[in-house]
Amino acid sequence: MNKMATKIIYFTVNGRPEQAEFSVNCSSQDVKDLFRSAAEAGPHDILKLYNRKGNIINISSNLEPNNPNSCYKLEVVASGCNSEPLGVELAGALGFDLSSMEKRLQCLEKKILIEAGNTPAVIYEMKKQVDLFREKLESVEHLSWLGLFKDLSESTHKPSPFYHKRALHKTKDECEHVREKFLQMSCLEVSEEVRQYLKTPTFDNWQWEDAEIMVLLQVMYTDLDFIATYNIETEVLQQFLFEVYRRYNNIPFHNFKHCFCVTQMMYGLMWLTDLRRKMDSTDLLIMLTSAVCHDLDHTGYNNAYQINARTELALRYNDISPLENHHCAVAFEILEKKESNIFKNVTLDQYKRIREGIIKCILATDMTRHNEILSKFKSILSLFDFDNKEHKDVLMMILIKVSDISNEARPMEVAEPWLDCLLQEFYNQSDIEKLEGLPVTPFMDRDKITKPSSQTGFIRFVLLPLFIELANLFPCLEQQIVDPVRKALDYYTEMEKALAREKQDRAPCENAVKIKDIPVAQSTTDKRQSSGLDASKPDTQ
C-alpha cells in the first residue's frame, strides 16, 4: 500500500520545540488549525510564523519542509486580554479543553489515515462523542461566552485577488465575513514587537489578512492617542475602518492593502521623524486619515482615462482631478454617517480644519500636480518653520505623496510583487484604451514598456528627487527610505541591461531565420520583395 506523501515542519512555540506533520494535499486551513492547536491559541488570536531570517512566512500547505536545525518560530502576535490561552480557560470551566481535544483528535485521525490508509471505527466513535458534546454546548444560549460556536462562514476557498476574475465591488457576504472576523479580533492585545515593527518602512503587508489589517489600523489610531484626544468611540472607529475596507475595490493595485501600505508608511514616517514633537495632534490625525481614505472606490483607471473616456467622474469634476475628488467625496460620505463618523465629538472649528486638511492632502496625490508641489517645498526648505501654517501644509502634502509612492523604499521581496500588481492594472487600462479607440497612455502600454523600464525612469526622475528633498528636512530618512530607493534603481537598471543583452543575443538568430531561404544572387530590391518587405520602407523588428 502506497503511503500518502507528507511534510514535516519543525518549529518552536513559547521556546519549546514542536513538529507538525501533514499530507501534501492537506488544505491550508487544516494546516493553520494544526499550528493554532500547537500554540494553544484562541480561535480569533493572530498567529505568525517566522523563518530563520526573521521574515514572516505564510502558514499554508505550501510551507517548505525543514529540519530541527532550521526551526521556524511560531508566535501569537495578537491575543485576548487574558494572560491564559483559551484552552486553559476552557479547562478551568469544563474540567478539560474541548477545543484542544477536537484538534488533537483531527491530527490523530490524519496520522492514522496516512499510516493505515483508512480510519478505524474507534476514531469515528470518538469524533461522534466530541461532536455530540459540542452540539449540546452550542444549543445552550448562556454558554455562548465559551466561544465554541462554529464560524459557518469560514471557507478554505480564497477568491483570486485579480479583478478580471472577481467582481469589482466586494459582495455583501465577503464584507460581512471580514467584518465579523475583525470584530472578533478587535479586542486582541497586539504584541509590542509587532507594534514596533509597524513603525518601520520594512513592514511586510503580504502576510496579513484584511481583518488583521483593520486591527493594525486600529492600533495606529490608539498608539497616536487619537482615541483619547478626540473622544473617538471604539465602536465608531471600528465601523469607520470597516466602511473604508468595504469601499476599496477588488483591483490588483489600488485596493485595501495599498491603502494600508500608504497609511503604514505615513505612520512610520511620523515616528521616524518625531513629528509628534514638531506638529500638533490634529495635523497627524489629518495625515493618517487622509492616507486611509486616499484611494477610496478607485476602479483601476487613472485620470487620463477618465478624461479621455468622458466618464461620469470626469464630467462631474470638470476634468479636474476626478479620481482624487471622488476619493474625498466617498471619505466624507462615510464620515457623514453617525455610526462611522470618527470626528463627531470634535468642535465645529476642529472639524472644519480636519475637513480642509484631508481634502488638501488627498488632492495632492494627483501626480499631475507633482512638480508644482515639489517645487513649492524646495522653495521653502531652507527657511522651513514648523510654526508656519503654509510650510506645514506643504509638508503634509509631501508626506502623503511620499507615502503613496513609497513601495520601492521597502525590501525588494515586499516591493516587487506590488510592481507586478501595478503593471497588471496599467496593462489592463492600455488594453481597454486600444479597444475603445482612446489615446493610449504610453507608460501603460504592454507593447512598449517592460518591468524594469517602467521603474528606472520613475525612480530616477520622480521618486529620488522627492525622497531626497524630504531627507534634506529630515536627515534620518536618508538611510531609512532614500538608500533603499537607490538600491531599487540599481536593481532595475541591471535588469534592464540584462533584457537588452538577451534581446541583442536573440537578434542574429531571428535575422538568420529571415534570410535563410533568400538566393545569394538577388538584388537588395529582390530580397525585400521575396521576403515580403516593401523596398521603400526600412526593416522593422
Hey, what's the cell of 265?
A: 508608511
Report DSSP letters for 387-424, one per residue. T-HHHHHHHHHHHHHHHHT-GGGS-HHHHHHHHHHHHH
Q: Give a three-class secondary structure readout of 51-103.
A: CCCCCEECCCCCCCCCCHHHCEEEEEEEECCCCCCHHHHHHHHHCCCHHHHHH
370 is catalytic: no
Hey, what's the cell of 340?
A: 462611522
On whether the CB atoms of residues 298 and 254 are closer than 8 A, the answer is: yes
**Spatial distance between the Cα atoms of 279 and 277, rounded to a whole number of angstroms:** 6
On whether the CB atoms of residues 215 and 190 are closer than 8 A, the answer is: yes
**Which residue, chain included where needed, has cell 534592464?**
496
Question: In sequence order, which ranges of 119-209 are alpha helices (DSSP H)?
Answer: 121-138, 172-185, 192-197
Q: Label residues 232-271 b or e (16+ Cβ within 10 Å = b).
A: beeebbbbbbbbbbbbbbbbbbbbbbbbbbbbbbbbbbbe
The count of residues in the chain is 541
Amino acid residing at 73: K
Report DSSP letters for 19-53, one per residue. EEEEETT--HHHHHHHHHHHTT--TT-EEEEE-TT
Q: Which of 44, 142, 177, 254 is catalytic?
A: 254
What are the C-alpha distances in Å from 484 to residues 98, 130, 420, 490?
A: 49, 54, 19, 10
On whether the CB atoms of residues 219 and 237 are closer than 8 A, the answer is: no
Catalytic residues: 254
